[in-house]
A and B are shown apart, each in its own frame.
Chain A
Amino acid sequence: MKYVYQVEKENYEDAGKASTDIKRTLKTIGIDRRVLKAVAIACYEAEINIVIHSNGGTVTFEMDDDGVITLSFDDVGPGIEDLELAQTPGYSTASTKARSLGFGAGMGLSNMKSVASSFQITSSPEGTHIQMTFQ
């Protein structure tokens, strides 16, 4: 099972639609509630990050035959200057617009790490890649 969603830069109205769709898909196949919530939280945080911080990108959801779920987030830049700092709870570079809409508390990456079974992030000016697994 694999789905790919496009996410637009600064499209705050549609931000979160991919996460909603993925959660609905998982609900229909009766996945464990704890895993479902973890996937939904991590996906929503990462999707919002693409909207707020990047020039746009994709969300990819995959589930293998053993039920292991992989979420991948790929954007087209401009990248994260200091990855270590970006993962510090409370650190944020979000715009005033993003903050006025309830985001940019600096908890996104740490939230993702805390709910995922595995978490990997790489970043360059060409783009940021995040991959998380859930089981």
Chain B
Amino acid sequence: MLVQDIVALLKAREIYIAQDNIYQKNYDKGFATDLMSDALALLKDETEDVLFLTGLANVQSLRTAEVLDLDTVILVRGKPLDQQMIETAKDLHINLFQTDQTMFEACGLLYGKGMR
């Protein structure tokens, strides 16, 4: 599923774009968690591109994404973001979006469109 379609489906807002062509990037897989150690444990052997969804609106979600080579993060539940998070996304070259959908809603919408 293209990022442009994911963004439209989730009614997501662009927070920071690290790659000019990110809207044309395709993701077949997604992973959603608020527990960073779960992401580190379960994605450590992943070789495909994975879209990362989390409700953890702090810099550690971005650092976890960077460690795992995940270059696009979608923050759910529309929590307020601080400037440090945006600066960290820039520093780590991570595409950052935000949606007001809950984790359950966002995952359900993406799953319904074929992402796994």
CB of A107 within 8 A of CB of B63, answer: no
Q: How far is the CA of A111 from the CA of B64 in the complex (A)?
A: 13
Q: Which residues of B contact A (CB under 8 A)?
A: 34-38, 40-41, 44, 54, 56, 58-61, 63-64, 66-69, 84, 92
Q: How far is the CA of A40 from the CA of B44 in the complex (A)?
A: 10
A91 within 8 A of B: no
Residue among B37, B41, B69, B84 having the largest count of chain A Cβ atoms under 10 Å: B37
Q: How distant is B47 from chain A, measured CB to nearest CB, in Å?
A: 9
11 A-B pairs, CB-CB below 8 angstroms?
Answer: A16-B59, A19-B63, A23-B67, A102-B35, A102-B36, A102-B56, A103-B36, A105-B36, A107-B38, A108-B37, A115-B44
CB of B66 within 8 A of CB of A45, answer: no
Which chain A residue lies CB-closest to B62?
A: A16
5 shortest interchain CB distances as A-B pairs: A16-B63, A105-B37, A107-B37, A102-B36, A40-B67
Query: What is the count of residue pairs linking A and B with beta-carbon distances less than 8 angstroms?
Result: 73
Q: How distant is B79 from chain A, measured CB to nearest CB, in Å?
A: 12
- Secondary structure type dominating chain B contacts: helix
Q: How distant is B20 from chain A, measured CB to nearest CB, in Å?
A: 21
A88 within 8 A of B: no
CB of B44 within 8 A of CB of A111, answer: yes
Chain B residues near A102 (CB, 8 Å)?
Answer: 34-37, 54, 56, 58, 60-61, 64
Which of B37, B41, B61, B66 touches A23 (beta carbons < 8 Å)?
A: B66
Q: In the complex, given contacts A23-B66, A105-B37, A107-B38, what are 14 additional A-B residue pairs having Cβ atoms less than 8 angstroms apart?
A: A19-B63, A37-B67, A37-B68, A40-B67, A41-B40, A101-B56, A101-B60, A103-B35, A103-B37, A103-B60, A106-B37, A107-B37, A111-B41, A114-B44
A132 within 8 A of B: no
Chain A residues near B64 (CB, 8 Å)?
Answer: 44, 102
Q: How far is the CA of A15 from the CA of B88 in the complex (A)?
A: 12
Which chain A residue lies CB-closest to B34?
A: A102
Q: How far is the CA of A119 from the CA of B19 in the complex (A)?
A: 37
A3 within 8 A of B: no
A13 within 8 A of B: yes
Which of A13, A106, A108, A110 touches B84 (beta carbons < 8 Å)?
A: A13
A122 within 8 A of B: no
Which of B54, B58, B67 touches A19 (beta carbons < 8 Å)?
A: B67
